Copies of this chain bind each other. A is one copy, B any other.
Amino acid sequence: MKFPVLRRSPLFAGLDDTEIEGLLESVNYRVRFFHAGAVAALAGEEISSVMIVLSGSMKGEMTDLAGRTIKIEDVNPPQALASAFIYGAGAHYPVNVIANMDSELLIIGKADYLTLMKSDTRILSNYLTVICTKALFLSGRIRFLSFRTIRGKFAYYLSSLPGAISGRVIVDRTQQELSEFFGVTRPSLARAIGEMEDEGLIAVNRREVRLLDIRGLSRLSEG
């Protein structure tokens, strides 16, 4: 097997080495090596292929008008680059793609990848799962970012946890993680939680939260 890492890729889930190899043989693909710091794609450039990180590590990076660079995210093996954008209307890379270290990318043209999806239902299904799951994630994040107040975000978060109907939930993240998820600072979140407790909306005991005033909570998460 040339690329054992592909077995662990969500795009090739459920396929064994032989099948992966066989499928790859049926299309054009190439492997490109990028030295640390090398640019694999520029922001605005058309996305013409599926690129899967085989080894090393890549990053997405933006350049603003003043030339400052801002790192957006890392992409590590066996993830694909910009997977949810590839087939978008006039798809262009939203960021510069740069190698964090010496890295290898498996590159399959968009049309060739379409062929793969048509020839193997699992490949198709895997790709659909990847992008739909991504869309679900993005959509959920927007919901939280759209609430105006921290109390609104937290109230909605609580109501979305399993057990909310019974009035008793277990928060499954640290305040630090929650605050990052909400896009606010950690002390502000702690204060908001404290105030909600003072007002009798909830009762907090570390990770366990009892929902005392359902109507009050629902008023907070209005929009």
Residues of A within 8 A of B (CB): 64-66, 68, 70, 84-89, 91, 94, 114, 117-118, 121, 124-125, 128-129, 131-136, 138-142, 145-146, 148, 159, 164-165, 183, 211, 214-215, 217-219, 221-223
Distance (whole angstroms) from the CB of A113 to the closest CB of chain B: 10
A146 and B183 contacting across the interface, CB-CB below 8 Å: yes
9 CB < 8 A contacts A-B: A65-B159, A65-B165, A84-B136, A85-B135, A85-B136, A86-B128, A91-B132, A94-B136, A131-B135
Residues in B with CB closer than 8 Å to A214 are 65-66
> Which 10 interchain pairs have the tightest Cβ spacing?
A88-B132, A66-B218, A87-B128, A84-B135, A138-B138, A145-B145, A64-B218, A87-B132, A88-B133, A66-B215
Question: By DSSP majority rule, is chain A's interface helix, strand, loop, or mixed?
Answer: helix
A135 and B138 contacting across the interface, CB-CB below 8 Å: yes
B65 and A164 contacting across the interface, CB-CB below 8 Å: yes
A136 and B88 contacting across the interface, CB-CB below 8 Å: yes
A76 CA / B125 CA spacing, docked (Å): 27
A2 CA / B142 CA spacing, docked (Å): 38
Distance (whole angstroms) from the CB of A9 to the closest CB of chain B: 15
Distance (whole angstroms) from the CB of A195 to the closest CB of chain B: 20
B132 and A125 contacting across the interface, CB-CB below 8 Å: no
A214 CA / B65 CA spacing, docked (Å): 6
B222 and A70 contacting across the interface, CB-CB below 8 Å: yes
A70 CA / B140 CA spacing, docked (Å): 16
